Structure 1
Amino acid sequence: MRRLQKPGDIDFVPAGVDGSWEDDADCQILRLSFRPSLLEQVAEELGRDAAKIELIPQLQLRDARIEAIGWAIKADLEADRPSNPLYIDLLANALAVRLIEIASDGRLQTEGSSAPGMSTRQLRVLIEFIEANLDQRLHLADLATVAGVSVTRLKTLFRNSTGTPVHQYVIRRRTEYARALIATTTMPASEVALAAGFAHQSHMASTMLRILGQTPGEIARPSR
């Protein structure tokens, strides 16, 4: 086929399907791929049999959700600082869920669609784990294991319990912890950044400005 490509056009090519194309002019394409095992894992968490999900190649697919995921990943790739692994895990998970929805003609009810919040014990154990590991690279799968639920269910249960997506919660707690260290200790800002789980000092500063509306220098005690 011959076509005019427009921003937002999506080509979906399932694993194992051969394909080739030739561009008439310079263009920029964002190519996303993930392991089939991720799709199988998400399908299982949604109560679906991955072997019965028929993924059909589609060219120039228009889908607002996949496009939004693509733009988010593009922005992350172009960012000056490393991404939060939790954020990338969530994007990959969301992409897998959306592909399963498309294969099911949008008729998909996840196990978390009417789920209550986490139990008091689950939430306490999970929050204690997050607090004890703020300086580590936390992954969604690790948090799901601590809570004793699937990754897909964790996202729904945590949001229902706290009103906040889990990756945003972790970022805010890192920011608040860093603010406390800056205000109450004489630790250099570079050490504070590492202790709070930020990639580097500028990463911490930009996150503080975005979330708190303050820079580390403004937070520091006047006497310092």
Structure 2
Amino acid sequence: MADTDTTWQYSEHMHADVTQTIVSRALPYSPVGITRVNTNRRHSGLTDPYERESAYLVILQLQPFGEQELWLAGKPAPHVPYGAGWLAIYDLERNWSANLIGEYDCMQFYIPQAALTETAKDLGIRAVQHLHCPPHLAVADPVVHHLSLALLPALAHPEHASALFVDHMALALRAHLVQHYSGVQVPSRRVQAGLAPWQEERAKALIMAHLDGEVLLETLAEACGVSRAHFAKAFRTSVGMPPHRWMVLQRIERAQHYLHHTQLPLGEIAQLCGFADQSHFTRTFGRVVGANPREWRRQKRH
């Protein structure tokens, strides 16, 4: 973690039983913290005080939650009971505190103002001054809900999560928040053009050179001379899938080559193909191919 990190990225202020965090560094100077916090205990108590800053805490409930006392600048603040998939936004330049009474399971996205500024540039719109969806106006947000569910495996096993996947999800999240909660009009786009042949070739070559997954979306976009938002959409238009998905398929293809043409053990193949460990390799291979690596190797040799 860098010096720009704050306790909000870990959600330490809530004293949860389980805290799982990953950080997107698609924007090196304004990382986005993604955290799942949950507890099966009642009466977790008061949240810790914090230093106010130019950032937002976007909270998406994974299960219904309504038992809390909420204050803003020391005065009771209105709020509504949340259903699963409901979202609220807390401006961290304001002094929020809560007494958490009920059990909870939620996703928290720490979004610095600088990340919103960069997102506005990517979208070609005027600067975003604020996000607005306070707790008394909380709404169901199926987009952020689906993004949250897709991130759960990465949060449970951060050692298995590729930076490319996390950055792609954070980019989608930031674009959605700006489009729906900033009050800034985002012009509708015409049919998205794909990458030029040289851009697609360069992007694929970079991904192949970094099958460990540590290549950043920003690196790919810069190599193609376009914004992050444009690159992510254009790559999908040209290739038919997002960059992180294409990267996984290349890992699997490389693994199949080693399985078929060498006697290397599975653990070594996993390492050569950029998987975190053998179990990660086995799970991913089985999900994509429909058979575990050992079975697939045996079938190919009969």
TM-score in same-fold range (> 0.5):
yes
Structure-2 separation of matches of 1:133 and 1:73: 21
Deviations for 1:40-96, whole angstroms, at most 9, x for unmatched residues?
A: 11110111222x444224222221111222222334312485212111111111111
Residue type of the alignment partner of 1:13: Y
Between 188-197 and 20-29, report the one with greater CA deviation.
20-29
CA deviation after TM superposition for structure 1 residue 220, in Å:
1.9
Aligned position for 1:84: 162
Between 197-206 and 130-139, report the one with greater CA deviation.
130-139
CA deviation after TM superposition for structure 1 residue 223, in Å:
5.9
Overall identity of the aligned pairs, in %: 25
Q: Which has the higher contact order (CA 8 A, sep 6+)?
A: 1
RMSD after superposition: 2.4
Q: Does the aligned pair in 1 maintain the 2:192–2:234 contact within 8 Å? A: yes
Gap change, CA 1:192 and 1:54, over 3 Å in 2: same
Match of 1:70 among 134, 148, 167: 148
Gap change, CA 1:48 and 1:223, over 3 Å in 2: closer
Match of 2:241 among 156, 164, 167: 164
Is the aligned partner of 1:120 residue 2:216? no
Match of 1:194 among 263, 266, 271: 271
Aligned position for 1:24: 101
Residue type of the alignment partner of 2:121: E
TM-score by length of 1: 0.88
Is the aligned partner of 1:101 residue 2:179? yes
Structure-1 separation of matches of 2:202 and 2:174: 28
Q: Does the aligned pair in 2 maintain the 1:53–1:100 contact within 8 Å? A: no
Residue type of the alignment partner of 1:102: H
Residue type of the alignment partner of 1:55: L
Match of 2:290 among 198, 213, 219: 213
Structure whose residues are more often helix by fraction: 1
Structure-2 separation of matches of 1:137 and 1:33: 22
Is the aligned partner of 1:55 residue 2:131? yes
Structure 2: unaligned runs, 5 residues or longer: 1-77
Structure-1 separation of matches of 2:81 and 2:206: 51
Structure whose residues are more often strand by fraction: 2
The secondary structure found in structure 1 opposite 2:111 is coil
